């Protein structure tokens, strides 16, 4: 017997661990062509020691319930930076909406480094 969605309202709550959100965001960013990796090089030594390792993703829940996400990525040389940043934003937004029904207010994409191929670096 299937339970209707209306019957399930107000019968409990769903909680998500921060690591689940970090994993979803991390995978969504890496799916984009041109993204080499998600990195946490932007943090200072002391922040790395005092704060947990979030693998290049910072999630902030504001007091008004808004969700702000910062993603730090490395990209390959030869790709359009604004295009990659836009595609990362859209993919993160769509992944969170479909997997956990969250709609972030802001998704900030920070390009930390540009990776060169060995052939390009040798030339």
pTM: 0.76
Rounded Cα gap, residues 89 and 69, in angstroms: 10
Rounded Cα gap, residues 74 and 39, in angstroms: 7
Asked if residue 73 lies in contact with residue 109, where contact means CB atoms within 8 angstroms, the answer is yes
Asked if residue 92 lies in contact with residue 62, where contact means CB atoms within 8 angstroms, the answer is no
> What pLDDT was estimated at residue 1?
38
- For residue 70, give both structure tokens: 């910062």
**Digits of tens for pLDDT over the chain (123 positions)?**
344 455 556 677 778 888 889 999 999 999 999 998 888 765 555 555 555 556 788 899 888 888 999 999 999 998 999 999 999 999 999 999 999 988 999 999 999 988 887 444 444
Selected from 3.20.20.70, 3.40.718.10, 3.20.20.370, 3.30.70.1350, the CATH number assigned to the domain covering 20-122 reads: 3.30.70.1350
- For residue 73, give both structure tokens: 């990525």
């Amino acid at each position: 017997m299937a339970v209707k969605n209306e019957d399930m309202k107000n019968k409990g709550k769903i909680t998500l661990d921060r690591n689940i959100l970090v994993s979803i965001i991390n995978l969504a960013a890496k799916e984009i062509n041109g993204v080499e990796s998600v990195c946490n090089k932007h943090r200072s030594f002391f922040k790395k020691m005092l704060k947990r390792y979030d693998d290049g993703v910072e999630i902030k829940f504001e007091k008004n319930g808004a969700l702000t996400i910062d993603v730090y990525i490395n990209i390959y040389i030869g790709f359009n930076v604004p295009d990659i940043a836009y595609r990362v934003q859209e993919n993160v937004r769509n992944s969170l909406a479909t997997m956990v029904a969250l709609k972030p207010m802001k998704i900030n994409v920070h390009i930390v480094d540009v990776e060169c191929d060995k052939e390009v670096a040798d030339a």
